[in-house]
């Protein structure tokens, strides 16, 4: 304890008396003294730290707490000495007061790469165990912590230690990109070929990565910049056709090319691109070809060429030009896309008699222009021989033209159109024929070819186009070979037409208080000077009602000078052409009241032929026929038929029209008399006001229980036993006056007077009783439907009543209710009224 006090006093006195020399400072925060950097080192490095107790008493400064922070450590990469090797001792100043231990973590310790470093937990010595490659791990950052040994409590904040790996020149430079370059052939000296890109893994910016470029081969053709690596040409004689690829050796060396530097080598390939420095060349110095005369569109010669430039490029593809001898356009030349040869064609026939040989000159070019050379395009002569062919005769000219006046006399010689044999130059044995003569105006002499007028030539004919008439002729030699020619006849105009008015009438509209006028227009088919201008005048022997004045060269104004009635007027007008050729023409002028230039009433007379008369009479005939039909219809209109009650009718069953009598029904039994009936107009009226049937059993409706106003019953009677019902009602003993019921009210005097009435009634009752026994059974299907059926009641209060076949019987003739049935029944009402 005494030693610590003495030491403290010494340090304080020394710092006060000689602060620059001692360099120790007192930290009041953690009661420790910190010595100068070059003072006491723990483990060979760091600041010396002396920790003591806080002095008691006034006059001492309070020290501040200081973090332990050692400087970065440096390790040389690829260390080749003995390993492991201690690097530095890391000590916390808290170990003065506590018993502590240290821990370390981070890359190189417990992270990849594991096992490079370790830290002694007691002494804090940092040790490296393996050689380190800086290019892989340029630095490490490790975390060091300090703990109290007994409580495992951190006595100080963790510290980050940085370990930098110092670089060694252990990596040679390498090429970054492929050494492939292209430069055009015949390039000038100094032309850039390409750039060599290199890199070095050593420390950037150091001498270890300063690269020097050089060529070890090809220095006569190419050069390289030692610092940038740009390759350039050193000659302008590079020829792709001689050698298209050059390989040179490139060396790259670090340390700026010093002998101690590391180096690498690579093979750079330099290709020469093509330029059109070689024109096409011909295999021969001249070519010969032959062709028959009159041949065309035929290949006569193939001309091969050679070209050293790159194949299938514009520098190689040939283009041929006929530079001489094709002034008439008889030839053409093309390029074969597969072989690059020239193909010479004849396109127009050649004439042996005119030219037996044709000399051509063909020049071969390329699609691209020549460059990098002084050579010129090459040409080659072509000699084309024309061979003779026996040809047909040829006219002196393909087309001949003659001028002829129209209306020239027939037989007049126009000219002679002859032909000769191309080989003999003679016309002997040649015959002439017309090939086409649309109007038949010309005759051609068969032996001489003379052309004469056959019919009158008219310039105004539609065969003449623009004053010209065309015909074709042919010549035939002794070998039946033919030649053709064209004759053009120019027709001169003659004054053979006079001015005329176009057909039709002119409309002159009446105007109140003034004389009207119309415009006359004349036409002449001739040409000038045989046509317009025309002169118009009124003949001297006219009636003086009209005057004419000139309007223009082809028209005049016609005006009446006196009041004229409406209608058609024929006005004579003298019209002459420029030569005074003309005659009186009649102008048809209609005077009328107009609206919009159109006559309101033209007062024209109409003439009808047979069809016109028939068209006028046809409506009258139709009206007459219609009247006859109406009269016939009215005459045959049916009156209402009055039904007379026969003595043997029975008053119940009515006759009806049937197609045939029934199989089991006696026709004499059908006439059933009506009891107490009287005949009325249009129907039968019953004397039985209430004919209801009596009975207790009722299940199906058969008869009637309610009485209509005309005496017939409408609704049915129901019974469960049809046979029982009819037998009881038609029994002879029950049908008398004593058994008919209270509602029958028969007239016994009428019954006594007509004994046959009761006999017929009983006979019918007997028949019906026998027949109706079969109803409702399946013994005979023929009778199953042969009975009276009930119809559905349509409603109550209908003024029309039933529309059945017998609805008219027993009623009066009042049909006014039909007017209220609506439009759906109008047709039915009309039929009922007519009948």
Pairing outcome for strands 450-453 and 413-416: antiparallel
pLDDT band at 716 (very low <50, low <70, confident <90, very high): very low
pLDDT band at 722 (very low <50, low <70, confident <90, very high): very low
Residue 793 has pLDDT above 60, yes or no: no
Give the count of alpha carbons within 13 A of 15, CB side only: 15
The H-or-E segment that residue 626 falls in is helix 610-635
Q: Who has greater pLDDT, 568 or 685?
A: 568
Residue 13 has pLDDT above 90, yes or no: no
Within a domain: residue 500? no
> In angstroms, rounded to a whole number, what is the distance separating the alpha carbons of residues 624 and 308?
111
> In angstroms, rounded to a whole number, what is the distance separating the alpha carbons of residues 434 and 422?
21
Within a domain: residue 14? no
> In angstroms, rounded to a whole number, what is the distance separating the alpha carbons of residues 464 and 476?
28
- CATH code of the domain covering residue 548: 2.60.40.60
Tell me how many degrees the CA angle 163-169-174 measures, rounded to the nearest 5: 115
Residue 519 has pLDDT above 70, yes or no: yes
Within a domain: residue 36? yes
pLDDT band at 757 (very low <50, low <70, confident <90, very high): low
Structural domain ending residue among the three candidates 337, 370, 387? 387
Q: Is residue 161 located within the same domain as residue 43?
A: yes
Phi/psi region, residue 179 (left: phi>0; alpha: psi -120 to 50; beta: rest), is: beta
The H-or-E segment that residue 105 falls in is strand 100-105
Domain limits for position 625: 606-637
Q: Which range among 321-330, 380-389, 432-441, 507-516 shows the weakest confidence by mean pLDDT?
A: 507-516
pLDDT band at 670 (very low <50, low <70, confident <90, very high): very low
Q: Which range among 421-430, 435-444, 665-674 shows the weakest confidence by mean pLDDT?
A: 665-674
Q: Is residue 161 located within the same domain as residue 180?
A: no
Q: Is residue 543 located within the same domain as residue 614?
A: no
Within a domain: residue 499? no
* 36-72 burial: b if 16+ Cβ within 10 Å, else e: eeeeeebbeebbbbbbbeebeeeeeeebeebebebee
The reported pLDDT for the residue numbered 636 is 58
Q: Is residue 685 located within the same domain as residue 829?
A: yes
Within a domain: residue 669? yes
Residue with structure tokens 């030539």? Answer: 457
Q: Is residue 669 located within the same domain as residue 806?
A: yes
Residue 273 has pLDDT above 90, yes or no: yes
Cβ neighbors of 271 (< 8 A, separation 6 or more) are: 180, 181, 182, 183, 244, 245
Residue 28 has pLDDT above 60, yes or no: no
Task: Please provide the average confidence, as pLDDT, over all residues in the chain.
Answer: 76
Pairing outcome for strands 482-492 and 222-224: unpaired
Residue 641 has pLDDT above 80, yes or no: no
Q: Provide mean pLDDT across the span 793-803.
A: 50
Q: Who has greater pLDDT, 146 or 725?
A: 146
> What six digits make up the tokens of 777?
């059974």
Q: Is residue 708 located within the same domain as residue 751?
A: yes
The reported pLDDT for the residue numbered 718 is 39
Q: Provide mean pLDDT across the span 255-260.
A: 94
Phi/psi region, residue 280 (left: phi>0; alpha: psi -120 to 50; beta: rest), is: beta
Q: Is residue 526 located within the same domain as residue 566?
A: yes
> In angstroms, rounded to a whole number, what is the distance separating the alpha carbons of residues 156 and 51?
14
> In angstroms, rounded to a whole number, what is the distance separating the alpha carbons of residues 695 and 765?
18
The reported pLDDT for the residue numbered 829 is 66
> What six digits make up the tokens of 444?
């051609």
The reported pLDDT for the residue numbered 613 is 59
**pTM for the predicted model, two decimal places:** 0.45
Structural domain ending residue among the three candidates 434, 460, 492? 492
Percent of the chain with pLDDT over 70: 66
Round the CA-based radius of gyration of the chain to a whole number and report it.
72
Q: Is residue 143 located within the same domain as residue 262?
A: no
DSSP label at residue 820: G
Residue 456 has pLDDT above 70, yes or no: yes
Q: Who has greater pLDDT, 481 or 380?
A: 380
Q: Who has greater pLDDT, 748 or 500?
A: 500
Q: Provide mean pLDDT across the span 764-769.
A: 71
Phi, psi (degrees; rounded to nearest 5) at 487: -110, 125
Q: Provide mean pLDDT across the span 604-629.
A: 69
Structural domain ending residue among the three candidates 575, 599, 623? 599
Give the count of alpha carbons within 13 A of 458, CB side only: 11
Q: Is residue 713 located within the same domain as residue 829?
A: yes
> In angstroms, rounded to a whole number, what is the distance separating the alpha carbons of residues 692 and 684?
19
487, 470 Cβ separation under 8 angstroms: yes
Write out pLDDT tens, residues 365-408.
999 999 989 999 999 999 999 998 877 888 888 899 999 988 88
Within a domain: residue 9? no
Count the helix, strand and coil residues of the chain and give each as a percent rounded to the nearest 5.
Answer: 15, 30, 55
The reported pLDDT for the residue numbered 820 is 61
Residue 86 has pLDDT above 70, yes or no: yes
Within a domain: residue 246? yes
The reported pLDDT for the residue numbered 530 is 83
Residue 199 has pLDDT above 90, yes or no: yes
Residue with structure tokens 């380190």? Answer: 132
Q: Is residue 344 located within the same domain as residue 199?
A: no
The reported pLDDT for the residue numbered 821 is 59
Strand residue runs (E) in 666-805: 678-680, 683-685, 700-701, 718-719
The H-or-E segment that residue 4 falls in is helix 2-17
Considering 86-90, 182-186, 514-518, 828-832, the range whose residues carry the highest mean pLDDT is 182-186
Pairing outcome for strands 431-436 and 535-537: unpaired
352, 308 Cβ separation under 8 angstroms: no
Q: Which of 318, 306, 309 lies closest to 244, judged by CA?
A: 309
DSSP notation for 139-199: EEEEEEEEEETTT--BSS--EEEEEEEEP-S----EE-S--EEEEETTPPTT-EEEE--EE
> In angstroms, rounded to a whole number, what is the distance separating the alpha carbons of residues 657 and 805?
12
The reported pLDDT for the residue numbered 167 is 94
The reported pLDDT for the residue numbered 474 is 93
Q: Provide mean pLDDT across the span 154-167.
A: 93
pLDDT band at 542 (very low <50, low <70, confident <90, very high): confident
Q: Who has greater pLDDT, 801 or 224?
A: 224
Within a domain: residue 660? yes
The reported pLDDT for the residue numbered 759 is 66
Cβ neighbors of 307 (< 8 A, separation 6 or more) are: 278, 279, 280, 281, 315, 316, 318, 340, 366
Q: Provide mean pLDDT across the span 255-273.
A: 96
Q: Is residue 660 located within the same domain as residue 761?
A: yes
Pairing outcome for strands 180-184 and 263-273: parallel
Q: Who has greater pLDDT, 312 or 704?
A: 312
> What six digits make up the tokens of 524?
């002449």
Residue 11 has pLDDT above 50, yes or no: no
729 CB neighbour count, 10 Å cutoff: 20
Phi, psi (degrees; rounded to nearest 5) at 467: 80, 10
The reported pLDDT for the residue numbered 426 is 82
Q: Is residue 379 located within the same domain as residue 472?
A: no
- In the chain, the number of structural domains is 7
């Amino acid at each position: 304890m005494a030693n610590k006090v003495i030491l403290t006093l010494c340090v304080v006195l020394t710092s006060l008396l000689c602060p620059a020399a001692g360099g120790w400072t007192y930290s009041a925060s953690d009661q420790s003294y910190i010595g100068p950097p070059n003072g006491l080192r723990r483990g060979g490095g760091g600041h010396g730290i002396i920790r003591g107790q806080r002095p008691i008493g006034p006059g001492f400064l309070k020290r501040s707490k200081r973090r332990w922070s050692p400087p970065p450590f440096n390790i040389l990469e690829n260390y080749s000495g003995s390993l492991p090797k201690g690097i530095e001792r890391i000590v916390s100043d808290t170990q003065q007061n506590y018993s502590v231990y240290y821990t370390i973590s981070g890359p190189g310790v417990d992270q990849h790469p594991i096992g490079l470093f370790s830290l002694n937990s007691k002494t804090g010595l940092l040790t490296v165990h393996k050689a380190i490659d800086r290019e892989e791990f340029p630095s490490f950052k490790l975390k060091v912590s300090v703990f109290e040994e007994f409580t495992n409590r951190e006595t100080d904040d963790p510290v980050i230690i940085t370990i930098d790996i110092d670089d060694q020149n252990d990596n040679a430079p390498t090429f970054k990109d492929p050494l492939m370059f292209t430069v055009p052939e015949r390039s000038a000296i100094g032309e850039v070929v390409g750039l060599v890109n290199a890199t070095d893994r050593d420390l950037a910016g150091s001498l270890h990565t300063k690269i020097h470029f050089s060529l070890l081969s090809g220095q006569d053709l190419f050069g390289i910049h030692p610092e940038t690596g740009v390759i350039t040409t050193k000659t302008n004689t590079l020829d792709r056709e001689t050698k298209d690829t050059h390989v040179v050796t490139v060396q790259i060396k670090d340390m700026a090319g010093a002998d101690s530097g590391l180096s690498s080598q690579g093979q750079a390939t330099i290709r020469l691109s093509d330029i059109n420095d070689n024109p096409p060349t011909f295999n021969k110095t001249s070519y010969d070809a032959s062709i028959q005369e009159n041949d065309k569109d035929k290949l006569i010669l193939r001309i091969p060429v050679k070209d050293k430039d790159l194949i299938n490029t514009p520098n190689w593809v040939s283009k041929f030009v006929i530079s001489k001898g094709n002034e008439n356009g008889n030839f053409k030349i093309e390029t074969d896309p597969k072989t690059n040869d020239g193909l010479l064609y004849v396109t127009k026939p050649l004439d042996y008699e005119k030219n037996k040989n044709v000399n051509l000159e063909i020049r071969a070019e390329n699609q691209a222009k020549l460059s990098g050379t002084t050579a010129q395009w090459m040409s080659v002569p072509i000699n084309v021989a024309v061979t003779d062919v026996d040809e047909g005769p040829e006219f002196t000219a393909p087309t001949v033209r003659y001028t002829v006046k129209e209306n020239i006399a027939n037989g007049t010689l126009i000219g002679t159109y002859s032909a000769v044999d191309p080989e003999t130059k003679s016309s002997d044995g040649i015959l002439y024929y017309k090939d086409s003569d649309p109007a038949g105006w010309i005759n051609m002499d068969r032996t001489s070819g003379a052309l004469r007028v056959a019919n009158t030539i008219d310039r105004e004919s539609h065969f003449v186009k623009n004053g010209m008439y065309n015909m074709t002729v042919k010549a035939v030699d002794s070998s039946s070979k033919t030649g053709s020619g064209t004759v053009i006849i120019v027709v001169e105009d003659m004054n053979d037409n006079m001015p005329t008015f176009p057909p039709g009438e002119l409309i002159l509209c009446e105007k109140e208080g003034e004389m009207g006028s119309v415009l006359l227009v004349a036409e002449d088919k001739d040409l000038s000077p045989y046509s317009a201008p025309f002169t118009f005048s009124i003949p001297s022997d006219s009636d003086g009602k009209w005057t004419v004045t000139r309007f223009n060269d082809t028209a005049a104004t016609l005006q009446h000078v006196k009041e004229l009635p409406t209608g058609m007027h024929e006005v004579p007008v003298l019209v002459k052409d420029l030569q005074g050729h003309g005659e009186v023409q009649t102008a048809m002028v209609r005077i009328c009241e107009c609206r919009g230039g159109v006559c309101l009433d033209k007062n024209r007379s109409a003439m009808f032929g047979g069809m016109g008369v028939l068209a006028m009479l046809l409506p009258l005939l139709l009206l007459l026929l219609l009247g006859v039909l109406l009269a016939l219809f009215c005459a045959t209109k049916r009156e209402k038929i009055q039904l007379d009650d026969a003595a043997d009718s029975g008053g119940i069953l009515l006759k009806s029209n049937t197609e045939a009598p029934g199989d089991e029904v006696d026709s004499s039994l059908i006439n059933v008399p009506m009891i107490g009936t009287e005949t009325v107009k249009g129907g039968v009226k019953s004397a039985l006001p209430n004919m209801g049937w009596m009975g207790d059993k009722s299940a199906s409706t058969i008869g009637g229980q309610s009485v209509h106003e005309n005496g017939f019953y409408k609704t049915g009677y129901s019974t469960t036993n049809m046979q029982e019902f009819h037998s009881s009602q038609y029994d002879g003993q029950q049908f008398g006056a004593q058994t008919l019921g209270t509602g029958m009210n028969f007239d016994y005097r009428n019954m006594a007077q007509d004994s046959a009435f009761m006999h017929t009634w009983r006979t019918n009752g007997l028949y019906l009783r026998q027949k109706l026994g079969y109803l409702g059974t399946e013994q005979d299907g023929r009778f199953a439907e042969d009975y009276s059926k009930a119809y559905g009641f349509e409603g109550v209060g209908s003024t029309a009543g039933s529309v059945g076949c017998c609805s008219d019987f027993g009623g009066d003739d009042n049909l006014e209710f039909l007017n209220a049935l609506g439009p759906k029944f109008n047709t039915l009402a009309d039929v009922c009224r007519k009948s």
